[in-house]
């Protein structure tokens, strides 16, 4: 583990030193798919260091499998949302985001995407309500006397649970659209005059007109955040806590923000002491490749290889889209590993192999090691 993200253990290590050698108790409010994979890397490390980690697992959970996480404890509970409904929302979000939204998202009004975001927010609001209004669950959590709550910032409610339990909390986050959450809750400084808004398609060297466009993007995302998130969540948080508050104010109480990227890859901007960049947490030492993959790598020659995957949530694409992708991949000189679980396209080139699963860490580690 690098020094770069050791600060995540700060609050917990204090309890280890001052409580007769007993380490901390961590409560986790997770999100599904790749968000869970990134979060689990930190949780596994906490378990190895002696901390007790408990993950809140709703009945609608898709990826949170206790059998694949033997070191973690899971607190399961029922919710009014079905697993099929949650999987459908995630899948539709990825499909729209991947295939129908251009890179310059802030200037491409997409009612479909915004409706899906709204549906996602409504679903998580229902999930949050089912959680915090579950008297038996909340009483059990209070009796457990957790020291800290660890939450994925994209999934609201973790901060509300922490407030109800009167414990500190911290976030794991890659980014929010337009940096809205980071700006208004985390007090991150993102000057639009020289910091391109995320998903704007702009670079670090902006002309005057591009800066105007960047300002328009910022206002667009601010309006989006206020319209689709702030009002309904703030009302629910105020009702639950029994005092006036807002979603932005509650999120702003986070003790620490762990940003899942490298500072080197970000546009230069000011940061705060409670912000730490933790890119690469999921990286591990490469293991030997299966023989079929190893033989294919050996035929790559001087051009090397390309690993093509649409992430943990996209298992398949339409037949027409698969043909387009296969044709495009056939045009490049590299050998291509394509993670795909559909029918083999007739446009597939000889340089491309399809696999239902790709050990990306092992594959990239193997090839990078050889190049060095």
In a shared domain, residues 269 and 299: no
CA–CA dist 353, 308 (Å, integer): 10
In a shared domain, residues 100 and 10: yes
In a shared domain, residues 103 and 195: yes
Q: Helix 135-144 crosses helix 158-165 at what angle (to 10 degrees)?
A: 60
Say which DSSP state 179 is in. Answer: G
In a shared domain, residues 230 and 302: no
In a shared domain, residues 298 and 272: no
In a shared domain, residues 304 and 265: no
CATH number (domain holding residue 53): 3.40.50.2000
Query: What residues contact 353, with CB distance under 8 A and at least 6 apart?
Result: 296, 335, 336, 337, 338
H/E segment holding residue 307:
strand 305-308
Per-residue tens of pLDDT for the chain, all 372 residues? 455 445 555 555 554 544 444 578 999 999 888 788 888 888 988 998 889 999 999 988 888 888 888 889 999 998 888 888 777 777 666 655 554 455 555 655 556 667 777 777 888 899 999 999 999 999 999 999 999 999 988 889 999 999 999 999 999 988 887 888 888 898 988 888 899 988 787 888 899 999 999 998 888 888 877 776 678 899 999 999 999 999 999 999 999 999 988 888 888 888 889 998 888 777 777 788 888 888 888 888 788 888 888 776 666 678 888 899 999 999 999 989 898 888 889 899 999 988 888 887 777 766 555 543
In a domain, 230, yes or no: yes
Strands 275-277 and 305-308: unpaired
In a shared domain, residues 195 and 311: no
364-372's contacts with Cβ under 8 Å and 24+ in sequence apart are: 364/286, 364/307, 365/284, 365/285, 365/286, 366/286, 366/288, 366/289, 366/294, 366/297, 367/297, 367/300, 367/304, 367/305, 369/286, 371/304
In a shared domain, residues 176 and 51: yes
In a shared domain, residues 198 and 313: no
In a shared domain, residues 108 and 227: yes
In a domain, 11, yes or no: yes
In a domain, 45, yes or no: yes
In a domain, 15, yes or no: yes
In a shared domain, residues 253 and 296: no
The β-bridge partners of 172 are: 152, 258
Domain residue limits at 357: 291-371
In a shared domain, residues 322 and 239: no
pTM for this predicted structure? 0.77
In a domain, 285, yes or no: no
Number of domains in the chain: 2
């Amino acid at each position: 583990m690098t020094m770069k993200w050791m600060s995540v253990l700060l609050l917990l290590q204090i309890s280890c030193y001052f409580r007769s050698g007993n380490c901390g108790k961590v409560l986790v409010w997770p999100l599904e798919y790749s968000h869970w994979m990134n979060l689990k890397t930190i949780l596994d490390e906490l378990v190895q260091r002696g901390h007790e980690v408990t993950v809140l697992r709703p009945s609608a959970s898709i990826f949170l499998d206790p059998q694949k996480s033997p070191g973690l404890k899971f607190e399961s509970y029922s919710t009014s949302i079905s697993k099929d409904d949650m999987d459908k929302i995630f899948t539709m979000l990825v499909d729209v985001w991947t295939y129908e939204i251009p890179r310059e998202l802030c200037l491409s009004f997409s009612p479909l995407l915004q409706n899906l975001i709204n549906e996602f927010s409504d679903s998580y609001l229902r999930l949050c309500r089912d959680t915090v209004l579950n008297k038996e669950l909340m009483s059990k959590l209070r009796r457990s006397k957790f020291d800290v709550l660890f939450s994925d910032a994209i999934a609201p409610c973790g901060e509300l649970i922490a407030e109800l339990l009167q414990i500190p909390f911290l976030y794991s986050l890659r980014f929010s659209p337009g940096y809205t959450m980071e700006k208004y809750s985390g007090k991150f400084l993102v000057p639009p005059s020289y910091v391109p808004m995320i998903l704007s398609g702009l670079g670090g060297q902006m002309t005057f007109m591009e800066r105007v466009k960047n300002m328009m993007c910022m206002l667009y995302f601010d309006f989006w955040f206020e319209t689709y998130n702030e009002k309904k969540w703030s009302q629910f948080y105020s009702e639950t806590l029994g005092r006036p508050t807002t979603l932005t104010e509650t999120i702003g109480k986070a003790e620490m923000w762990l940003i899942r990227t490298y500072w080197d890859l970000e546009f230069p901007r000011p940061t705060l002491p409670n912000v730490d960049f933790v890119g690469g947490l999921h990286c591990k030492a490469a293991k030997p490749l299966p023989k079929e993959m190893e033989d294919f790598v050996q035929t790559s020659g001087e051009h090397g290889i390309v690993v093509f995957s649409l992430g943990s949530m996209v298992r398949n694409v339409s037949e027409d889209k698969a043909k387009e992708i296969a044709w495009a991949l056939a045009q490049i000189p590299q050998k291509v590993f394509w993670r795909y679980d559909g029918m083999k396209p007739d446009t597939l080139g000889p340089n491309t192999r399809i696999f239902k699963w790709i050990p990306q860490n092992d594959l990239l580690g193997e090839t990078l090691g050889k190049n060095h």
